[in-house]
Amino acid sequence: MEQDLSKLDAILPSYQGKHGVLIPLLQHTQSILGYISRDAMRYLAEKMGIPAAEIFGVATFYAHFALEPKGRYVVRLCDGTACHVKGSIAILDALRERLGLPEGKNTTPDMLFTVETVSCLGACGLAPAVVINEDVHGQMTPDTAVALIDEILQKEGAQ
């Protein structure tokens, strides 16, 4: 997927010459491009005079930064203690099966869905919990999670 890195040129002056701006710069970059590619890291390094290794180190250290493109619907499944005990892995398996995601892939080929596990959503009272984009869904089961996916697919006109 080719990225138009020139979109970043408009934001760079507000970060140049300042200390401690790498994380906000990467956040802003991700909000513009959708994710932070290796090409974007090299581009930022060249334009900002920051070592590429430093940018790569920060981008890969923080889980907040996406290094791969994500689908239109990001499904975050909590696998914290409460959710795990109440069956989050079975939900994950059902979601991956419904979306046809092979092991090692998190995003569907049509870029509609990305499925991720997170350590905690802070919604233990709703365990097991799933967040789709910004919408929180609690007391999930494999069937109710798949029903949410089916609902989105129907809305999108997909199968």
pLDDT at 37: 94
- What are the start and end residues of each CATH 3.40.30.10 domain in the chain? 73-156
Domain 5-61 listed as CATH 1.10.10: yes
Q: Where do the DSSP E strands lie in the chain?
A: 73-78, 113-118, 130-132, 135-137
Amino acid at 157: G
Architecture of domain 73-156: 3-Layer(aba) Sandwich (3.40)
Question: How does strand 130-132 pair with strand 113-118?
Answer: unpaired
Residue with tokens 């959710």: 83
- What are the start and end residues of each CATH 1.10.10 domain in the chain? 5-61
pLDDT at 17: 87
Instruction: List the pLDDT tens digit at each of the 159 positions of the chain.
Output: 578 899 999 999 999 989 899 999 999 999 999 899 999 999 999 999 999 999 999 999 988 899 999 999 999 999 999 999 999 999 999 999 999 999 889 999 999 999 999 999 999 999 999 999 999 999 999 999 999 999 999 999 876
